[in-house]
Structure 1
Amino acid sequence: MASDAIGWGVVYTRSFAFGTLLLLLLAPSQRLLADESVDLAAVSKIRQHAAKNAEVKQTLRVLSDVYGPRLTGTPRYLEMAQWVEDKLRAWGIENVYLESFGQGLRGWEVINFRTAMTRPVFMVLDAQPVCCSDSTSGTVTGTPLVVDFTSMQALRSISGQLRGRILLHPDVQEVADSPGTKWTPAQLAKAAARMEPVTPEGLDGPGSSETYADRLRDQARNPLAQNEAKALAQLMIDEGVSAVLRSSSAPPGLVNNRFDTSMVEFVRSGDPRPVPMFVIPREQHARMLTLIEMQQEPLISLELNTRYYEDPATHVNVIAEIPGSDPEHRNEVVYLGAHLDSVEMATGAADNGIGAATSMEVMRILSELDLRPRRTIRLALWGGEEYGLLGARAHAEARYGDIIAGTVTPEQESVSAYFNHDNNGHDIRGIFLLGNEATRPVFEAYLAPYADEGANTVTIENACCTDLVVFDALGIPSFEWIHDAMDYFSHQLHTSTDAVDLIDFESVRRNTAIITSTVYLTAMRNQALPRKSMPAKPFGTLSVTSRDSSTRSEQVSHD
């Protein structure tokens, strides 16, 4: 399979060399295109069923309105996962089960909180507590002390003066620069024409030349950054800080925690229980700083009650399958993945309730239409994505290899593709190939029936920062959908307004058809999709802490 992968990055300096090499590069793609078969009758059935018989809205209402926020590792999250399990079985989906990955992890949730400024005038603070904050000792009242509480040096310079104090960060966050519209034909054409997966103008952000595997290896070699964060949290606990306040990077009136990393750092048993942290709107942060500067001594009153859980059984993925029908290919797998958990802000409708609900809808349609794929289609609804891709990594490394070591198991070759849905519920415009250029003609053929809906862009660009990077790091062909950004980055992603009301269900029904047909056609191919190469360059043996907190030695590689 790896022999089909195409390598890129050659610099062409002569027209003859360019023409010769271009023919060599295109030859595999031309063979793929000639071999590609699209069952237009099945695509038509899928489109009609997705449009007329949708249940995705009701599914999302349960996931978000009933169970949101869906915080991994809590009894409420487990109850929600069991509801998903029952719903999939009711639709006739086979091999549905919960898969635990929670050894050594803890859960956290908010019981209740209140925040207000009571002097010089009353003002409700539109705050949100940040995971994984500890509770306050009852109601905490005081004039904030302005200090950079992210700086160990700043805190140590006033050691002994922090007990009982509410700390306010001195800097108001800038509003995050984010796209907020539909992609134009020119932008999509430019993305489709790119020759490199990492680009400053990428549709899913500027990207990075550092891969997920690189980051994991760097963390294994240099755990200092995470240790410093824990040491900072422990210092504030030891100094008796009552609470800390910082501003959001969302537009006025909104609160988000997009750039907060505390969830990743404090989710394991034995991690510090950080002092209560609240995010507040930028304008309220700025007003408090002004009042302090003018010696008005604003008085803040706040209370937070949270709860921690230590039950590994509450950290689960939901797995379900439509078995393959072809004896030759039934043991091969096409994954359909989406994370089921959310952050603590709002109800997690766009991030990523709609991804999970849409993926469930895909399985329902395939089952109801009795479309029998040659390969097994495996739905994987991940827990722990917001904690650092924990559920997906546990699942993938238990089966397919070791990301840090750069090794794969024989079972890795049985995975034909991994499709991920974590880029919002707005219109799909095409697909990210994550550098797997050899698959371009495949997806150009699969998306051609949706050209009339503007959903046929295929780009070599990378997609960012979610569960698909786990599978990509293990050499499995992995893909993410290009969605119009609309108001996702400003009003939905990790914000206090990520609610069902902002979801466009016409877009969702359209997206469901595109995903269903693409997954089905991939499962019906005569051959597996081409794979990228997976270089592994061992440089030595490191002692690395595993997910179950035991220590093992393993070969690691570097680029």
Structure 2
Amino acid sequence: MRKFLIAFCFIPLASLAQEKVDLDMIGKIKKEGTDNSHVMEIAFHLTDVSGPRLTASPGFMRAANWAKDEFTKMGLVNAQLEPWGEFGKGWQQEHCYVAMTAPYYQPLLAIPRAWTGGTPGKKMLSGEIVLLKIKDTLDFAPYTGKLKGKIVMIWTPTTLKPSFEADAGRFTDSALEKMAAAEPKPQVESRRRQQTGNWVPVEMQRRINQLLNKEKPALILSFNPNGNDGTVFVGGGGSYAKDAEEVPANVMLSSDDYLRLQRLIGNGQKVEIEADVKTSFYKDDLKAYNVLAEIPGTDPTLKSEVVMMGGHLDSWHAATGATDNAAGCAVMMEAVRILKALNVQPRRTIRIALWSGEEEGLFGSRNYVKNHFADPAKMELMPEHSTISAYYNLDNGSGKIRGVYLQQNQQVRPIFNSWLAPFNDMGAKTLTIDNTGGTDHLSFDAVGIPGFQFIQDKLEYDTRTHHTNMDTYDHLVADDLKQAAIIVASFVYNTAQRDAKIPRKELPKP
């Protein structure tokens, strides 16, 4: 704790004193968010009721339309599905059954990879597995012209290791103190972690994909070494581009099933499977949509200015996208519900956005920013750019909020320190100058609009739920989401009521 205090001792006391905090309103927000929370009910509709929410899929549109209607019921205005541009083909899995039939029968845990096709014909596919042992491009020759209509898998050197560490965890005091003591450093672009599902170099995998797409096997069996104990990490396996050729059926197996098949084949056993995989593509509407709604501002001077908040509504398809990111969307929706329930009359307009296309590259938020504020490639500012005070984002799972990543914006430290003070007893007190990447606040930061992601306890996000078949409602922690909604509602309210907009960093160069 001493190191934490030292890290903040340079903040002028006068700065803290100047920042107004309406403790009476904060108390009301706490009470409403604790005693009358709807956050789990919202999460239920976004997950169990809507289903998987791959961008442009029927599940995404179910969730988006439900959220739009729910905003209207709450009393928000201008609730709409706003197109941000062309995305491409929608996709969803319709049916998936895969089982080993020889040397004995065993159902296999299998999930189709997004934007891949189904098994050919109307009858059940059955046959022997062809194990491809490919280490370099010279190994392609034995398989060229021989894989059409076959069931194939690629040999892997991977072996499973026991899990000696707990799946879930919270930030320790020492970890938070280290984050708080971080020094400013040059900002670099954050690279999104990709779940490739492969253990080979990217260029080699590209060539393998070219081989398989040309050969047209009936079914490809894939494997992701990140998963164990029945957890399957699943992403894309084909292209959503409108003119892209449909690729063969491709399912991700559990690591246990995949390695068992490989061992059997490697030891001379004849391994056969049967499979019936059906998927659908949707091409009638190639656009993609964000969900937007507002609580209008009331101050004659400031109502044209905007405070934004949001999270991404889209998910991957192996489960119902609970921690990634129905949790963040449910918190944001609950936060605006709290403010409407208290009949808050904000000085600035409060706008909530639920993004699409985040999983494919922050497309929804990036194009919204490009359409409304500025193109980061040119940095020619549109009139709306000057109206935005700040954007707040939540997209790191179901864990409670522990503080804020300042995104190298040192000027906001004393402001946010004052705003977090009423929530120190709820575990939220850490401010770190560090950046965090891979989510939608970066779209705003890229054009000089203050964009912030909250620090959250990791729980089992990276180990068990992120992009997996385990990302379901039951992995949400109700008390954590309630705490998060209360803090978000408070930050948004404080930003809306503040005399001045949130301080900005130097405008980025094109």
Q: Same fold (TM over 0.5)?
A: yes
Partner SS state of residue 357, structure 2: coil
Q: How large is the Cα RMSD of the aligned pairs?
A: 2.9
Deviation by residue 1:390-413 (Cα, 9 ceiling, x = unmatched): 211121100111123344323212
What is the correspondence of 1:18-33 to structure 2 with a 5 Å cutoff?
32-33=15-16
| 2:170 is the counterpart of 1:193 | no
Partner SS state of residue 388, structure 1: coil
Relative distance call for 1:243 and 1:197 in structure 2 (3 A) is: farther
What is the correspondence of 1:108-507 to structure 2 with a 5 Å cutoff?
108-138=91-121, 139-147=124-132, 154-155=139-140, 158-171=143-156, 172=158, 180-196=168-184, 209-211=188-190, 233=209, 235-248=211-224, 249-257=226-234, 260=235, 262=237, 266-312=239-285, 315-507=288-480
Deviation by residue 1:216-253 (Cα, 9 ceiling, x = unmatched): xxxxxxxxx99998876454232122222222312321
Quick one: distance in 1 between partners of 2:35 and 2:397? 22
Deviation by residue 1:410-434 (Cα, 9 ceiling, x = unmatched): 3212111111111112221111112
| 2:20 is the counterpart of 1:41 | no
Quick one: distance in 1 between partners of 2:191 and 2:472? 30
Structure 2: 5+ residue stretches without partners: 1-6, 194-200
How far 1:155 sits from its partner (Å)? 4.1
Identity %: 34
Quick one: distance in 2 between partners of 1:293 and 1:132? 31
Task: Give the count of matched residue pairs.
Answer: 491
Q: Is the CA contact (8 Å cut-off) linking 2:55 and 2:357 kept in structure 1?
A: yes
Q: Is the CA contact (8 Å cut-off) linking 1:130 and 1:277 kept in structure 2?
A: yes
Partner SS state of residue 312, structure 1: coil
Q: What letter is aligned with 2:445?
A: D
Q: Is the CA contact (8 Å cut-off) linking 2:47 and 2:473 kept in structure 1?
A: yes
How far 1:141 sits from its partner (Å)? 2.4
Quick one: distance in 2 between partners of 1:108 and 1:462? 34
How far 1:38 sits from its partner (Å)? 0.8
Deviation by residue 1:114-149 (Cα, 9 ceiling, x = unmatched): 011111111111111110111110333233223368
Partner SS state of residue 402, structure 1: coil
Quick one: distance in 2 between partners of 1:342 and 1:44? 34
Deviation by residue 1:170-192 (Cα, 9 ceiling, x = unmatched): 22387899973111001001100
2:490 matched residue in structure 1? 517
Q: Is the CA contact (8 Å cut-off) linking 2:447 and 2:508 kept in structure 1?
A: no
Q: What letter is aligned with 1:282?
A: S
Q: Is the CA contact (8 Å cut-off) linking 1:110 and 1:305 kept in structure 2?
A: yes
Q: What letter is aligned with 1:160?
A: G
How far 1:338 sits from its partner (Å)? 0.7
What is the correspondence of 1:526-545 to structure 2 with a 5 Å cutoff?
526-536=499-509
Relative distance call for 1:149 and 1:99 in structure 2 (3 A) is: farther
Deviation by residue 1:266-291 (Cα, 9 ceiling, x = unmatched): 12201232222211121212111110
Quick one: distance in 2 between partners of 1:270 and 1:78? 22
Partner SS state of residue 101, structure 1: strand
1:553 matched residue in structure 2? none
Relative distance call for 1:241 and 1:194 in structure 2 (3 A) is: same
Q: Is the CA contact (8 Å cut-off) linking 2:55 and 2:288 kept in structure 1?
A: yes
Deviation by residue 1:255-310 (Cα, 9 ceiling, x = unmatched): 112xx4547xx122012322222111212121111101111121122221111111
Per the normalisation by structure 1, the TM-score is 0.82
Q: What letter is aligned with 2:145?
A: G
How far 1:366 sits from its partner (Å)? 0.7
Quick one: distance in 1 between partners of 2:145 and 2:406? 54
Higher mean displacement: 478-487 or 164-173: 164-173
Quick one: distance in 1 between partners of 2:503 and 2:205? 41
Q: Is the CA contact (8 Å cut-off) linking 1:113 and 1:305 kept in structure 2?
A: yes
Q: What letter is aligned with 2:104?
A: V
Quick one: distance in 1 between partners of 2:270 and 2:79? 58
Q: Is the CA contact (8 Å cut-off) linking 2:184 and 2:433 kept in structure 1?
A: yes
Structure 1: 5+ residue stretches without partners: 1-21, 199-207, 216-224, 537-556
Per the normalisation by structure 2, the TM-score is 0.89
Partner SS state of residue 364, structure 2: helix
Q: Is the CA contact (8 Å cut-off) linking 1:119 and 1:297 kept in structure 2?
A: yes
1:551 matched residue in structure 2? none
Deviation by residue 1:297-350 (Cα, 9 ceiling, x = unmatched): 211222211111113376211100111121221111111111111101111111
